[in-house]
Structure 1
Amino acid sequence: MEKTIKSSLEAQGDIKARLASTALPSLISGQIRQNMRVLGSTKEDVVINTLIWDADQFQGGIFNVNIHVPNLKNQTAENPTAKDITQPDIARFEQLGKIASAALDFYDGFNFSLRLRSPGKLENYGTEWIYNIQVEYLFLREDI
């Protein structure tokens, strides 16, 4: 019998395809990508990467879906000497995050299923912000 094991890249591809079937691609200025953004991107991007991936019969893992949105510019800073006067675009993060979360929660694909582990949280990386959604992926291997 041929092995039916999936790589984490194949699972990322399934998640990417699910997101691509929503309004998300037409709403963002950038791309939905696997593993990393285009170097130096200043657009709205969605990036899927792997946290945990196993090879059990019920093969599964946990994936990040990170939404990148440019900061709002020329915002008022409480500190008058602040060099960064940008703020996260919370309304835009929420809009895109709701679409992605709804698409990934309790979704049953052809041979896999998705469930939300975390419906989204805003995280700060210096002057950049991302909206992080965690997804559980499950696939039944038929070769074992």
Structure 2
Amino acid sequence: MKKTVLEGKQWILELLLQSPIKSLITGNIYKDKRPSGSTKEDIVINSISMDGSFLQDGVFNVNCYVPMQSVSMNGITQDMPNNNRMLEISKAVYPIFENIFRPQFNLTVVNHNTFEEEDEKANYINFRINLKAYN
């Protein structure tokens, strides 16, 4: 039976919940959407696509949000990325998705990048995950 993106997101959630990452972040782990106005370190799992081939190929995002920190530079206070926390969280998350082989699926990190979410005053590390599901 073909798997859906909903099952893929659940598998990724379970990998995160089985890891120690929850005790490292100040927020929570969510599927699809981060709570509006969150000022915590949250992880959000969302899906891009999952095809219908025999060995199904899926693409997912795991976004690790880190609030910006207020820094005074030349007498001006401004929001800056908290690179130390982003590094700490990314080093903890990366191995969770590195070369995972399970009876129903396997997955790996395709690439990762950092982005700024200006209206949320946060940055996030995006892990692009490739998931192969077995029927």
Q: Same fold (TM over 0.5)?
A: yes
Question: Could you list the per-position Cα deviations for residues 37-92 of structure 1 after superposition, in whole angstroms to 9, with x for gaps in the alignment?
Answer: 1122111100011122111111121111000011112x134695xxx711111111
Question: Could you list the per-position Cα deviations for residues 120-139 of structure 1 after superposition, in whole angstroms to 9, with x for gaps in the alignment?
Answer: 32112324311111110001
Correspondence for 2:47: 50
Q: Unaligned regions of 5+ residues in structure 1, if any?
A: none
Distance 1:18 1:128 in 2: 24
Q: What TM-score do the two structures reach when normalised by structure 2?
A: 0.90
Distance 1:79 1:133 in 2: 36
Q: Unaligned regions of 5+ residues in structure 2, if any?
A: none
Correspondence for 2:87: 94
Q: Please identify runs of 4+ aligned residues in structure 1 that moved more than 4 A.
A: none
Q: Computing the radius of gyration over CA atoms, which structure comes out larger, 1 or 2?
A: 1
Q: Which has the higher strand share?
A: 2
Q: Does 1:117 align with 2:114?
A: no
CA RMSD across the alignment: 1.6
> What amino acid is the match of 2:41?
E
2:28 is matched with which residue: 18, 27, 31?
31
Q: Does 1:139 align with 2:133?
A: yes
3-state SS of the aligned residue for 2:16?
A: helix
Evaluate the alpha carbon distance shift between residue 116 and residue 76 of structure 1 in structure 2; reply closer, same or farther with a 3 A threshold. same
Distance 1:97 1:41 in 2: 19
Distance 2:26 2:52 in 1: 36
Correspondence for 2:59: 62
Q: What TM-score do the two structures reach when normalised by structure 1?
A: 0.85
